[in-house]
Structure 1
Amino acid sequence: MQAGIFRVCLVVVAAIVNHPLLFPRENTTLQESDKEIIQKMKEHEENLKKEQQRLEQEITRKLADHNMNPEGKGKEANLPWDLWSAISMIIFLLIEIWRQDVQEEHLQQPSVEEDDMTLWGNMFQGVFLPNKTALAAFCERFIRSATNDAARTREFVEGFADDLLEALRSVCNRDTDMEVEDSIGVGSMYENWRVNKPLVCDLFVPFAPPEPYRFRSEIWDPEKSGPQDRPGYGKIKVCRPDEEATGCICDKTKLGEDMLCLLHSKSNEIKLNSEMEVLLCSKNTQYLDTDQVMKWFQIAITKAWNKISHKYEFDVTFSHLDSPGALKIRFRSGKFITLNITPVVQYEDSDVYFISHFPSSGLLNGSSSTVCWFLSFAVYERRFLKEMAKHLPENSCHLSCLQLLTFLHGKQSTLTGQSGLSNYHLKTVLLHLLLARPVLDWSSESLEARLKDLLKLLEKSLHEKKLYHFMIGNKRIPATVCLPETFLRAEPLNLFQQFVLHRGLYKKTMDSFYEMLKNTSVLINEYTVHVPPEHTDITNKA
């Protein structure tokens, strides 16, 4: 009798536990309008009731048989009980598995991050952006004045940089020091979309080792996967004369014992090893060390400025010491100009450069190894924008969209602090959008619509945590850009990979992004004071 009561209780408890509507915390995502799910739940409930009734009838029958045959208490009586227990457990297990499958498919309990994502996805629908009049007034009053200032700043910086680099060459040892080439203007100031102040000029300064040494570039291999692979990074090996052919005739002709190559003399080799490799390479390796190169360049810049400082009526200092050439020029009037002169190494015969630091782009050298250098495609990105400008309508709005977005992002960063979003990410979104939309869609009258497209594409990328590098693995890049085939065939590089690894940074970035959307109208209208109030009303919904 006790065994029978226990079995009845077991069946009842199992039915209650598996009841789909008795535990509302498991169904918090159930929507009243989802009729299909409700219908399935009702069917599931009916099946459980029928199964419960059948089991109760079976138990009642077994109890009646047991009472009619009370002497069966031996092994024969234990066998039906064991068999019945096994069958019951199997049935309950199957019911539980089926219930879990239904829950995972339709009623999975969302995590905190999923709750936030649901909220974020709906927020953009309630955000209002300034209308065309307000945007046009902002561009006229704020952006164009900043563009004029940028042209004057570039002209001054280029002249000063040429003088500084010429002095740097004069203070370097031509036999053992690096050979410095002319500077290359890159980034927002040279692509004409920089608006946030201070206006910063970024200059690349390619350098190479003295003869007979040479650099050998080693980039990641997209066909070889492994923990050591770092997509977007590479290493620079300093090749000695005895390791690589340099083109000298002594490499191809066997010289006699009484003949000596003046270029590759033994004494010269020892001198180079002690003064160049030890100072610029990572310890016990032949690979250029980013920190060592930064120290060398800062010392060389300091010597060069000391040589020419008497010619100028301003002071030059390092704005921060964690970048090779982040300089600040301060005039007697109190005004100042900032510039970044960054040493880079050319990748083979291309316009791709190895760079150790990104002082003003917001990107960080994400590698923990000081021998890993990031690959910069800044020259190709500038070339792509020039190529697109040839086909876009006159006075196209593509740069104005980027200027508006970087302005808003800069102001929001001032209010809430830095997030995981950088100006380079915003620029990458624009580059992708330029290829996605027809060229005729970028007329000046389409500024409002294209700005919305830019924000929506950025939001989509943030939600998916995927924003692919524009120049790596993008086969849609025009052939006129002349990007090396190696990078066209490479696997795409996700610039938002950091959000997958760092959930705290991701949440802060999303909060900052939507806060920026809310503040858009206020920030823009602050810089359009000359526009009548009736024209700056927020009338358009994103």
Structure 2
Amino acid sequence: MNNTMDCWVFWFLLLQSMVQYLQPVDDGLDEVTCLRMEARAKLQEQEKIRLEREVEQLTLMQSGASWGDLLWSALQSWQVWAFAGLLVLLAIWFMWRKRSHKAEISDEKEKEKQKEEEEEDETWAYDLRWLLDERIQWPVQDLQTGCNRTMALIDNFTSVIGRALTRTFYPVLQQAIGFGSAFEGWTARGEEVVYRVLIPLSPPLGHTFHLERDNDQQKPGRNFRVRVELECSCPREHPGVNLLCFLHHPDVVRRRTQQPNLLDSLCTGFYLDVQKIVLWFCALVRASWRRLPQSRSWHLVLLASTRSCNLRLNNDQESFLVKVLFGVRRHASDIFITSRPRGAQTPSIMWPETYAVAETKFFRHMARQAPQDSSHIKCLQLLACVLAHKDFSIHSVKTIIMRLLNTIPVSRWHRRYFLLQLSDALEQLRLSLEEKYLEHFILGNQRLPEEIRLPQDVQRAKPPNLFHGLSGFMVSLVLEKIIIKHHKREWILGSKFRCGLDDQHGAEGM
């Protein structure tokens, strides 16, 4: 618009100039002509001024129109941003409503899921109570009665036999000690319970026992020999004057007492012989059985064994089995060397060291400390049932439970924590199997209760690895029985909880 207006002004001025300067002139101008020219000049000047003012006004008007356009453009831009902001707010509100709806749906689903889990937990709790009350307790519910009956029987035997051995040179029978799973309150299988009893032996008059460690690295475990030596019974100030001293007058003692010394009767060379002791004790049992009150209501059968005396007692209603082992106590502690075999070819003069008495004492200590309705025995019973295998030692499972008992507060072994403790035991067993490493519980353990007494060499010993030499096949076989279903509190141990029962009574899906 500005360019068009300037063009018109230019052409008007050019035409005016041409009209002014193209008029004919002569040599002289009259006065009238001069006045007319001056008047025309003034008129042109005024017209020019008027036109310039109009141009200025038009320019100002155009400038005002530009500012208006700018303001209008700015106004339009603000509306666009306002509209865009409104769209953003609407989008945010829509997303919030969508999320709220999803959250409501999620809450409903979560409530439904929680309800289903609660119903599942109730079913699980019922199945668990059924399993604990009807199945796990079934093999062990009469154990205490059996233990009391066994100890009464063996105490009667040792009392009668002890009186018969007075003034002889046979080993002195000390008070029997019950040990093993039955005396700890559990059994490894649903088979017949075996009640194990240890009878400690002490040397007779004129004899001493010296324990010699067998350092043969080819033999598993810690093994000993019991060296029997004759002891002088003469007065200190007059050695050799006592004619009843085996050390100085063995022939005189034999002739006067008509009794052989221990070296002549139950030893091989200078060492106490396990097999000879078993045969000797079984003969005493046969001879003294009729003098026991139990003989009036029970029938006794002696079962053949080379390193223990096995007694089968039965009547018209029931039957039970007692395995009697013999041992020598180490340094007034709870550790014994015993007649228990270690392998098929255990020499008759070898006495393996056993920690079973200390372990049983540990379980009794924990039974006094744990809640009345403790679950540790049931947990051990269940795992022993499921994982029982002829080539897999259940003592490994027992070791896992003992280690957990020694680290977890006893209050956490209440029955309501059964699944948690079962979970911990399975996880420890799984890790130990994968690493093929599980430390012995007694050897080298300095955190046992004070009432369990250990010799210094046992307390300071390096704990052996119970899984040393465990085959990969056996590891895989046991791990297959430990299938962990990833759920809050649901476990599958193998395929069924048989615990020695038939399939139709097994509890599935635990």
TM-score by length of 1: 0.61
Structure 2 equivalent of residue 151 of structure 1: 144
| Distance (Å, rounded) in 2 between the aligned partners of 1:494 and 1:270 | 49
Shift of residue 213 of structure 1? 0.4
Shift of residue 286 of structure 1? 1.1
Q: Residue by residue, what CA displacement relative to the aligned partner does 1:243-271 show, whole Å, maximum 9, x if unpaired?
A: xxxxx563x3234x8x4353444335667
- CA distance change for structure 1 residues 275 and 249 in 2, over 3 Å: closer, same or farther? closer
- CA distance change for structure 1 residues 450 and 310 in 2, over 3 Å: closer, same or farther? closer
- CA distance change for structure 1 residues 172 and 274 in 2, over 3 Å: closer, same or farther? closer
Structure 1 equivalent of residue 105 of structure 2: none
- Report the AA paired with residue 288 of structure 2: A
| Distance (Å, rounded) in 2 between the aligned partners of 1:268 and 1:426 | 56
Shift of residue 472 of structure 1? 0.6
Contact kept, 8 Å, 1:135 with 1:448, in 2: the verdict is no
Contact kept, 8 Å, 2:171 with 2:203, in 1: the verdict is yes
Q: Which has the larger radius of gyration?
A: 2
Shift of residue 497 of structure 1? 3.2
TM-score by length of 2: 0.64
Structure 1 equivalent of residue 279 of structure 2: 295
Mapped pair 1:378 → 2:356: yes
Structure 2 equivalent of residue 49 of structure 1: none
Contact kept, 8 Å, 1:430 with 1:454, in 2: the verdict is yes
- Report the AA paired with residue 217 of structure 1: L
Structure 1 equivalent of residue 225 of structure 2: 235
Structure 1 equivalent of residue 326 of structure 2: 343
Structure 2 equivalent of residue 166 of structure 1: 159
Shift of residue 227 of structure 1? 3.9
Mapped pair 1:262 → 2:240: no
- Report the AA paired with residue 187 of structure 1: G
Q: Which has the higher contact order (CA 8 A, sep 6+)?
A: 1
Q: Residue by residue, what CA displacement relative to the aligned partner does 1:30-68 show, whole Å, maximum 9, x if unpaired?
A: xxxxxxxxxxxxxxxxxxxxxxxxxxxxxxxxxxxxxxx
Contact kept, 8 Å, 1:316 with 1:329, in 2: the verdict is yes
Structure 2 equivalent of residue 401 of structure 1: 379
Partner-residue secondary structure (3-state), 2:231? coil
- CA distance change for structure 1 residues 384 and 268 in 2, over 3 Å: closer, same or farther? farther
| Distance (Å, rounded) in 1 between the aligned partners of 2:504 and 2:386 | 20
- Report the AA paired with residue 200 of structure 1: V
- Report the AA paired with residue 192 of structure 2: P
| Distance (Å, rounded) in 1 between the aligned partners of 2:195 and 2:226 | 26
- CA distance change for structure 1 residues 139 and 345 in 2, over 3 Å: closer, same or farther? same
| Distance (Å, rounded) in 1 between the aligned partners of 2:357 and 2:372 | 23
Between stretches 452-461 and 198-207, larger displacement belongs to: 452-461
Partner-residue secondary structure (3-state), 1:497? coil
Shift of residue 357 of structure 1? 1.5
Between stretches 489-498 and 310-319, larger displacement belongs to: 310-319
Structure 2 equivalent of residue 522 of structure 1: 496
Structure 2 equivalent of residue 457 of structure 1: 428
Partner-residue secondary structure (3-state), 1:479? coil
Q: Residue by residue, what CA displacement relative to the aligned partner does 1:43-98 show, whole Å, maximum 9, x if unpaired?
A: xxxxxxxxxxxxxxxxxxxxxxxxxxxxxxxxxxxxxxxxxxxxxxxxxxxxxxxx
Shift of residue 343 of structure 1? 1.6
Unaligned runs of at least 5 residues, structure 2 = 1-122, 484-491
Match of 2:412 among 424, 441, 445: 441
Match of 1:493 among 455, 464, 477: 464
Unaligned runs of at least 5 residues, structure 1 = 1-129, 243-247, 359-363
Structure 1 equivalent of residue 11 of structure 2: none
Shift of residue 156 of structure 1? 2.1
- Report the AA paired with residue 168 of structure 1: I
Contact kept, 8 Å, 2:289 with 2:295, in 1: the verdict is no
Shift of residue 470 of structure 1? 0.9
| Distance (Å, rounded) in 2 between the aligned partners of 1:135 and 1:287 | 54
- CA distance change for structure 1 residues 234 and 537 in 2, over 3 Å: closer, same or farther? closer
Alignment of 1:7-406 (within 5 A): 131-172=124-165, 174-194=167-187, 196-219=190-213, 227=217, 231-241=221-231, 248=233, 250=235, 252-255=236-239, 259-264=241-246, 265-267=249-251, 276-282=262-268, 285-305=269-289, 308=292, 311-333=295-317, 335-357=318-340, 364-365=342-343, 368-406=346-384
Q: Residue by residue, what CA displacement relative to the aligned partner does 1:161-218 show, whole Å, maximum 9, x if unpaired?
A: 2222233334447423222122111122222123733122111111223211021123
- CA distance change for structure 1 residues 525 and 193 in 2, over 3 Å: closer, same or farther? closer
| Distance (Å, rounded) in 1 between the aligned partners of 2:368 and 2:152 | 29
Contact kept, 8 Å, 2:140 with 2:186, in 1: the verdict is yes
Contact kept, 8 Å, 1:344 with 1:355, in 2: the verdict is yes
- Report the AA paired with residue 461 of structure 1: S
- Report the AA paired with residue 392 of structure 1: A
CA RMSD of the aligned region, Å? 3.6
Q: Residue by residue, what CA displacement relative to the aligned partner does 1:228-250 show, whole Å, maximum 9, x if unpaired?
A: 786422221112225xxxxx563
Contact kept, 8 Å, 1:207 with 1:345, in 2: the verdict is yes
- Report the AA paired with residue 208 of structure 1: S
- CA distance change for structure 1 residues 159 and 458 in 2, over 3 Å: closer, same or farther? same
- Report the AA paired with residue 374 of structure 1: P
- CA distance change for structure 1 residues 309 and 448 in 2, over 3 Å: closer, same or farther? same
Partner-residue secondary structure (3-state), 2:331? coil
- Report the AA paired with residue 287 of structure 1: Y
Contact kept, 8 Å, 1:396 with 1:444, in 2: the verdict is yes
Between stretches 392-401 and 141-150, larger displacement belongs to: 141-150
| Distance (Å, rounded) in 1 between the aligned partners of 2:467 and 2:422 | 21
Structure 2 equivalent of residue 507 of structure 1: 473
Shift of residue 402 of structure 1? 0.5
- Report the AA paired with residue 163 of structure 1: N
Q: Residue by residue, what CA displacement relative to the aligned partner does 1:126-178 show, whole Å, maximum 9, x if unpaired?
A: xxxx9554333211113334443112222222222222223333444742322
- Report the AA paired with residue 151 of structure 1: Q
- CA distance change for structure 1 residues 227 and 402 in 2, over 3 Å: closer, same or farther? closer
| Distance (Å, rounded) in 2 between the aligned partners of 1:471 and 1:510 | 27
Contact kept, 8 Å, 1:132 with 1:447, in 2: the verdict is no
Contact kept, 8 Å, 1:196 with 1:407, in 2: the verdict is yes
